[in-house]
């Protein structure tokens, strides 16, 4: 059975499901989910992420990780945690960038939080050469009781969201239902009652969509509580916005092109933009003293990406030069990832 037929059967028996439930199944169904079976990344996949664009991205994250470790007083036994590590490229580059930092590799134990068995396998293959203690978890629930430095790139955008829309009858939830045997977006028949909505409902205009991701908030609360108890910091990079910003950001991508969300379920990536204000507030309420949101451009420049690019250019041939320059532009250009992608740092 395809995932589409599985969903149709479930909806015809039990009624429409939330967009959150739909996303969770489309991305993570143990058999049919997108991340369980596809090879999403790179030129031949569906999309390219920053660590896959250039090694410089992971190196700059490495600079940040190293500086946090030093600010923590170089703890002898600490955890470097990555959420949603994809093919493991970012962690590989961070470990390479910190290789010569005295004591770092001796003191670090790496934890990878990954729900997809197929991607866990890919990550193991890539990181196997490092002589470091690395282990895998499927959720961030039970973390080692040590100072912890967390990194995550394009993780929160894959977590399920709910969508609501303001109608003349009140605020209704957008659901996935059936219309004439095909999957369609429908509205809940009763008014929605999420506490998050109460805060914003005056500001939403008629027919506007508002999104919320309780799953993201839950993960951020777990991490922030852990960091505030054990010491540490977190770096979260994603395509996203700060409130108040309303609108429908749910999107599917297949072969580097936008795709209809309800078509080819399990064959296309589905994401939503990340609400950085909500994540920062969750970190604050759970005890993290610092929360700061800046653009990817500012973050990478602060960490020295332009200096690093210059250094790499010195040793590069003509073809490599072009590639270094174009990837630098993709990562920090205002009309590229530089402004759209944001970085939340909590400590």
Residues that bind ligand SAH (CB under 6 A): 27-28, 35, 41, 49, 51-52, 84-86, 90, 113-116, 119, 153-155, 158-159
Nearer to ligand SAH, 16 or 86 (CB): 86
Nearer to ligand SAH, 8 or 218 (CB): 218
Question: CB 280 → ligand SAH: shortest distance, Å?
Answer: 20
Across 286-300, b (16+ Cβ under 10 Å) vs e yields bebeebebebbbebb
Nearer to ligand SAH, 123 or 291 (CB): 123
Nearer to ligand SAH, 49 or 98 (CB): 49
Q: Residue 38 corresponds to which tokens in the numbers above?
A: 């596809």
Question: CB 7 → ligand SAH: shortest distance, Å?
Answer: 18
The total of other beta-carbon atoms located within 10 Å of residue 152's CB is: 22
Burial class of 114 by CB neighbour count within 10 A (0 to 12, 13 to 18, 19+)? buried
Which residue is nearest to ligand SAH, using beta carbons?
Answer: 84
Nearer to ligand SAH, 271 or 286 (CB): 271
Question: CB 11 → ligand SAH: shortest distance, Å?
Answer: 22
Question: CB 171 → ligand SAH: shortest distance, Å?
Answer: 27
Question: CB 82 → ligand SAH: shortest distance, Å?
Answer: 7
Provide the angle, in degrees to the nearest 10, between the axes of the packed helices 117-127 and 89-97: 30
93 Cβ contact list (under 8 Å, min separation 6) = 51, 55, 57, 58, 59, 61, 62
* Residue 205, phi then psi, degrees to nearest 5: -90, 165
| CA–CA dist 120, 129 (Å, integer) | 15
């Amino acid at each position: 059975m395809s995932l589409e037929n599985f969903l149709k059967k479930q909806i015809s028996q039990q009624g429409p499901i939330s967009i959150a439930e739909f996303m969770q199944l489309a991305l993570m169904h143990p058999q049919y989910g997108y991340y369980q079976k596809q090879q999403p990344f790179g030129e031949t996949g569906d999309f390219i992420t920053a660590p896959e664009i250039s090694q410089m991205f992971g190196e700059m994250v490495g600079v940040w990780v190293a500086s946090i470790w030093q600010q923590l007083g170089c703890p002898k036994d600490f955890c470097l945690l990555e959420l949603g590590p994809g093919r493991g490229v970012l962690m590989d580059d961070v470990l390479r960038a910190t290789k010569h930092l005295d004591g770092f590799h001796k003191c670090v134990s790496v934890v990878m939080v990954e729900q997809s068995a197929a991607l866990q396998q890919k990550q193991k293959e890539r990181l196997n050469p490092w002589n470091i203690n690395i282990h895998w978890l499927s959720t961030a629930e039970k973390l080692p009781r040590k100072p912890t430095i967390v990194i995550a790139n394009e993780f929160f955008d894959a977590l399920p969201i709910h969508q609501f829309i303001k109608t003349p009858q009140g605020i209704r939830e957008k659901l996935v239902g059936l219309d004439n045997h095909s999957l369609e977006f429908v509205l809940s028949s009763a008014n929605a009652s999420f506490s998050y909505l109460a805060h914003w409902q005056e500001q939403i205009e008629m027919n506007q969509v508002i999104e919320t991701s309780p799953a993201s908030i839950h993960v951020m609360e777990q991490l922030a509580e852990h960091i505030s108890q054990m010491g540490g910091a977190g770096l979260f990079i994603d395509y996203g916005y700060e409130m108040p910003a309303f609108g429908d950001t749910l999107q599917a991508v297949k072969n580097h092109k936008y795709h209809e969300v309800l078509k080819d379920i399990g064959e296309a990536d589905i994401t939503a933009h990340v609400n950085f204000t909500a994540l920062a507030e969750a970190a604050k309420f759970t005890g993290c003293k610092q929360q700061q949101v800046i653009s990817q451009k500012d973050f990478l420049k602060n960490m020295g990406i332009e200096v690093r690019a210059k250094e790499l250019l010195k040793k590069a041939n003509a073809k490599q030069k072009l590639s270094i320059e174009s990837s630098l532009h993709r990562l920090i250009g205002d009309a590229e990832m530089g402004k759209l992608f944001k970085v939340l740092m909590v400590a």
